[in-house]
């Protein structure tokens, strides 16, 4: 191929947007060799738009598919039909998708039906349990089965892909683009928004909580919230900041279990910039999020993961992340341990960052150019410190 390579990035949810923003910005810097197109499914709406705004990304195509109570079937079919229309018009040379959402899988499958090669950003993470996280583990595997280029964030994700028979030359260890995004966003002099002004960061220990996983909806979430309520009742000098996901199924249980409690701040999801800067100032993070498991360790924050499995073993091995599940007693005791045992806290609060050096997007674009015969040698691989 001699002309410009037409690369279309597809994403739809908040975490994909955060992690694809550095890639889109880097693609835009290569106008000599690359024609960039951006397609958002808008599987998320407000939570996506705030990221687009922050990184000043104006998508070329917006499928606007989000609906309240959307099912996996709704998302998959609406995204597939919309992407098909765009492919018929644009015929990209390469499609980039990110991670493990239903937008990811629909984007990869649509590209496959058009016989367009796929580059998978954040490839190779595995729990080896197809129902945990659900449906993300399968979305990631199926996307990996379709992809031609695999951008693995760490050497353990590289090993997972090699074990599945992906040829060495198709995998590039790049680091995770979430660290590129974090470098772009966290600043010491950042002033937190007004809605957090009542939080007493000086005299209280502050817990940051987020939950949204489909497999935790219902009773598991209820147990987690009850444990948090018990902690708050037990410890006076503790506050909880909980930016509640927009999923109505999450919001309802949160309101029932934690609504109206003193020192529990239930707020709307924060935009990425205030959220990332808030994470840098809290004491402990409780979450079932994937991305937060990668961000918080590099900010030196202990993370208690409200899940039974993780596809991100690196920070668990390093000791800053603990997998604690959703059992009420366990969530309570693990949180209390960090609040009452200074050595346990210090041990977990050591900053480690196995996930990237802020250069992942550069490596991804270099790998694309290398694969197209436009870059002289394979990009340098990321090695965690
Ligand atoms: C999705 C992804 C999950 C990812 C998560 C990040 C799938 C199957 N799930 O899960 O992998 O970890 O995003 O947050 O791809 N909503 C709004 N406004 C928004 C966003 C969501 O109102 O900006 C509400 C809508 O009612 C929507 C519901 O949240 O129907 C659920 O959204 P959905 O994308 O289906 O699931 P998530 O749990 O967000
Ligand atoms: N995040 C945010 N505002 C919030 C909560 C999270 O900007 O109120 C960011 C967070 O920093 C991380 C990403 O959203 O980069 C994680 O998204 P989420 O937990 O929804 O999805 P997951 O990573 O589990 O797929």
Residue with tokens 């990110």: 98
Does residue 167 lie in a domain region? Answer: yes
pTM summary value: 0.98
Does residue 276 lie in a domain region? Answer: yes
Q: What is the CATH number of the domain that holds 224?
A: 3.40.50.2000
Residue ranges around ligand 1 (CB below 6 Å)? 13-15, 43-47, 66, 68-70, 72, 75, 100-102, 135-136, 212, 214, 246-248
Dihedral pair phi/psi, residue 219, rounded to 5° = -60, -45
Mean pLDDT computed over 85-101: 98
Same domain, 339 and 362: no
Same domain, 343 and 367: no
Does residue 376 lie in a domain region? Answer: no
pLDDT digit string (tens) for 303-331? 999 999 999 999 999 999 999 999 999 99
Whose alpha carbon is nearest atom 22 of ligand 1? Answer: 246
Same domain, 29 and 118: yes
Task: Count up the domains in the chain and report the number.
Answer: 2
Question: Residue 350 in contact with residue 320, Cβ under 8 Å?
Answer: yes
Same domain, 160 and 208: no
Does residue 385 lie in a domain region? Answer: no
Q: Is the pLDDT of residue 385 over 80?
A: no
Does residue 380 lie in a domain region? Answer: no
Q: How far is the CA of 377 from the centre of ligand 2 (A)?
A: 35
Residue 84 domain boundaries = 5-176+356-371
Same domain, 201 and 124: no
Does residue 11 lie in a domain region? Answer: yes
Same domain, 344 and 265: yes
pLDDT digit string (tens) for 371-384? 999 999 999 999 98
Same domain, 85 and 129: yes
Does residue 40 lie in a domain region? Answer: yes
Whose alpha carbon is nearest atom 12 of ligand 2? Answer: 291
């Amino acid at each position: 191929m001699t002309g410009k390579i037409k690369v279309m990035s597809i994403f739809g949810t908040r975490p994909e947007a955060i992690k694809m923003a550095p890639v889109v910005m880097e693609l835009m810097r290569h106008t000599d060799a690359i024609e960039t197109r951006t397609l958002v499914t808008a599987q998320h709406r407000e939570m996506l738009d705030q990221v687009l705004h922050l990184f000043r990304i104006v998508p070329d195509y917006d499928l606007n598919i989000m609906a309240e109570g959307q099912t996996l079937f709704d998302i998959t079919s609406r995204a597939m039909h919309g992407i098909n229309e765009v492919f018929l018009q644009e015929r990209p040379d390469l499609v980039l998708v990110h991670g493990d959402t239903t937008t990811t899988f629909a984007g990869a499958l649509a590209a496959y039906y058009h016989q367009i090669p796929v580059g998978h950003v954040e490839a190779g993470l595995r729990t080896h349990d197809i129902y945990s996280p659900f449906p993300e583990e399968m979305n990631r595997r199926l996307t990996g089965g379709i992809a031609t280029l695999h951008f693995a964030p760490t050497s353990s994700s590289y090993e997972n892909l090699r074990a599945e028979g992906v040829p060495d030359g198709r995998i590039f260890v790049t680091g995770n683009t979430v660290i590129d995004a974090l470098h772009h966003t966290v600043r010491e002099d950042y002033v937190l928004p007004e809605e957090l002004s009542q939080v007493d960061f000086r005299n209280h220990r502050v817990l940051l909580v987020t939950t949204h996983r489909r497999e935790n909806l219902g009773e598991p979430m209820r147990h987690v919230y009850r444990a948090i309520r018990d902690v708050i009742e037990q410890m006076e000098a503790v506050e909880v900041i909980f930016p509640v996901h927009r999923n109505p199924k999450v919001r309802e249980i949160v309101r029932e279990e934690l609504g109206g409690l003193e020192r529990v701040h239930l707020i709307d999801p924060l935009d990425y910039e205030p959220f990332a800067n808030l994470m840098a100032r809290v004491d402990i993070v409780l979450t079932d999020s994937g991305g937060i498991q990668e961000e918080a360790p590099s900010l030196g924050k202990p993370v208690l993961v409200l899940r039974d499995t993780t596809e991100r073993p690196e920070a668990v091995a390093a000791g800053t992340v603990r997998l604690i599940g959703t059992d009420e007693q366990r969530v309570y005791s693990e949180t209390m341990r960090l609040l009452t045992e200074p050595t346990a806290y210090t041990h977990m609060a050591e900053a480690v960052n196995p996930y990237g050096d802020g250069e992942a997007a550069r490596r991804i674009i270099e790998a694309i150019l290398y694969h197209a015969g436009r870059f002289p040698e394979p990009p340098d691989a990321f090695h965690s410190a």
